[in-house]
Structures are given as C-alpha cells and as structure tokens.
A = this chain, B = another copy of it.
Amino acid sequence: MDPKTVRTSQKAGLPPGTLVHVGEKRSEMVRISVMHFDADTFEEKELTSPEECANYLKSPRVTWINVDGLHDVEVIEKLGTYYDLHPLLMEDILHTIQRPKAEDFEKHIFMVVKMLCLGGDEGRIDSEQVSMVLGADYVLTFQEKRGDVFDPIRNRLRSGKGRIRKMGADYLAYALIDAIVDSYFSVLESLGERVEELEEAVVGTPEREVLMRVYALKRDLISLRRSVWPLRELISSIERSESTLVKAGTLLYLRDVYDHTIQVMDTIEANREVVAGMVEVYLSSLSNRMNDVMKVLTIIATIFIPLTFIAGVYGMNFAYMPELEWPPAYFAVLALMAAIAVVMLALFKKRRWL
C-alpha cells in the first residue's frame, strides 16, 4: 500500500490490451472455483481447467466463478473468450494497481475494488485487488491470491439461508462488495488502536521513532483513503448507468454500501485530523524538553557562577586585603554564599522554574 510502488513501466510501450500480469509474482497454482445455484439447488466445484466453465454458460441458474491467482494469463484469456470480455477489461484484471472503478460494457459491468487486510506484524495493511464481472446470470471474481473475506457469503450460499440464493447475480455482486467494505471497518479499528497508542507515546516519549510511526500511520491513512474514496464514485456510476443488469431492489442495497463507504471515509478523515495534530504535539514536546534542559542549566549556572566569583575574589593574592585577616571572615563569606543561593532559589520558585 505504498505510494512509491507503482511500477508499471514493465508495461510501457506494449500495445493496449496486451495481457501481462503486473503485480507481485506468485508461484501457487491458479485455483478456479465455481458456485452454481438458484433458490432450490446448489452446486459447488473446484475446476481443474478453465475449459470446464463452458458448462455453466447457458444455465438459467446463477454462476459465481472465483479465480485465485492472476499469474497464469491463459486462464484469464480463456474465461475472457467464454464470457466475451473486452481486451482492455482483461488487461485491467491483470494490472493489479488499478484504482477502484466500475465500467459498463452493456453485456456486463466490470468493477475493480481493493480488499484490505491486516498484515501479520505491526498492523501493516495488505491490499489485494479484486476484479468483478457482473453479467445477467453470472459473477466472475478475480483475486491476486488465495484467502479472502468472502467465506461468510459462501456459507450463506451453501446453507441457503436469507435472501442470497433467491435473488440474482446482481445481489451476489452487491454482497461481495458489502463484505469487502465491512472488512474496511476492522482495518479502521486496528488503525484506531494505533492512533490511541501513538497519542500517548507522542506526549510521553517524544523520540524520533515515535515520529516515524506517526508518519507511517499517516501514510497508511492516505493509502486507505485511496482505496475507499473511489468506491463512492463506483457505486454512483452503477446507479447512474441505469444498466438493466442491476435490479431496482438491489440498488437500495447498493445505496446502503454507499452509506457505509461514506462512514469509512468520515472516520479516515477524522483520524487524519487527529494524526495531523500529533505532529504538532510532538514538536511542542521537543520544545518542552529543550526548555526543561535549559532550565536545569540555567538554575545550576546562575546559582554557582556568582558564588564562584566570590570564591575567586578571596583567592586573589593582593598583599593588602583586610578581610582576609579577620578571623570569622571565612564563615561570614560561606554564610553570604548560602544566602545568595537561597535568594536565587526563591526567585526561581517565584518564576515557576522549579
């Protein structure tokens, strides 16, 4: 999720529509799994080759084909042939640094969204591109790697509970997007915890390492916003497209996802304002520390410098210094020094430096 890792020059110069996988290379096998259902029947299968998809093309039931892994370009190409996908659409599936967007190709709607999950250590956020093709009675999903947030949906499909098997492909697509947006909330929660931790750290221990963590958090918020913000537009553009692929009933649900997206954005923005304030607190903590250091130096120095001067005076070797001969002089001078120190400390106390 680093803004710096946009490395698409690998593709520069190739003709548009050339299918090249741009993203992290993986070696696992590409996995194709199918769910084929209507209100009454349900079938689940893992395909060994993309050719098997052909069986589902003419079925009146809803088909959900999920592809895990994009490095085998041929798989995408074959699916593309069966489902008549535009070369630019396939290119976008493989090009995993897309911005979330929706495009209406009449026969089907193409959507790109970002699925976020928390990385193992230090709460770093992992981002994975999920491309979706929504047709009249099918949904194709393409993920970069195995592991996703769709298991609750799979379970609902298997159990046949709720609306999901009764409604069409558009409702399934909605449910998938909804699952992804729901997962943003847990990412936000973890970011919220980091914000809380840092708020304390920034006041208690204004070390450079804390500042670095503040900036890391800030950058995570920026990238999170980059994933979430275009979702609003995505949903609006589906609403506006008036595509017959999305039924009126489903639009209401999409509107609900839209509201969630706004809520996520709202929380991100609020966190960003908090984080922006943190840098100021950090800098003022630094200044405060400097002030503390200066105060100690000043107190010590201003007390002892005059005393040392007095000692210096009576260390002079003049032949005629009457005080030196006065027997109690030494103790008188010591008393004078103590008095000066006490007065000084009282002054500092009054100025609230102690």
The chain A residues found within 8 Å of chain B, CB to CB, are: 3-9, 11-17, 86, 88, 91-92, 97-99, 101, 103, 149, 151-152, 156, 161-164, 175, 178-179, 182-183, 185-186, 188-189, 192-193, 195-196, 203, 208, 211-212, 215, 218-219, 222-223, 226, 252-253, 255-256, 259, 262-263, 266-267, 270-271, 273-274, 277, 279-298, 300-302, 304-309, 311-321, 323-330, 333-334, 337, 351, 353
Contacts and interface: CB of A to CB of B under 8 A. Distances in A.
B311 A302 contact: no
B287 A284 contact: no
Nearest to A10: B185
Nearest to A347: B296
Number of copies: 5
Given A3-B267, A99-B266, A300 B300 contact: no
B314 A314 contact: no
B185 A9 contact: yes
A157 to B, nearest CB: 11
Given A12-B179, A280-B283, A313-B337, 11 more contacts: A4-B196, A6-B263, A7-B189, A9-B185, A12-B149, A211-B281, A287-B290, A290-B291, A304-B308, A316-B333, A317-B324
A188 B6 contact: yes
A319 B325 contact: yes
A211 B278 CA distance: 11
Nearest to A325: B319
A270 B223 contact: yes
Contacts of A12: 149, 179, 182-183, 185-186
Contacts of A312: 307-308, 311-312, 315
Of residues A9, A192, A295, which shows the largest number of chain B Cβ atoms within 10 Å of its Cβ? Answer: A9
Nearest to A6: B267
Contacts of A193: 4
Contacts of A270: 3, 222-223, 226
16 contacts: A16-B178, A17-B162, A88-B253, A88-B256, A97-B263, A223-B270, A280-B283, A282-B284, A284-B286, A286-B291, A296-B298, A301-B302, A305-B308, A311-B316, A318-B329, A319-B324
A112 B283 CA distance: 40
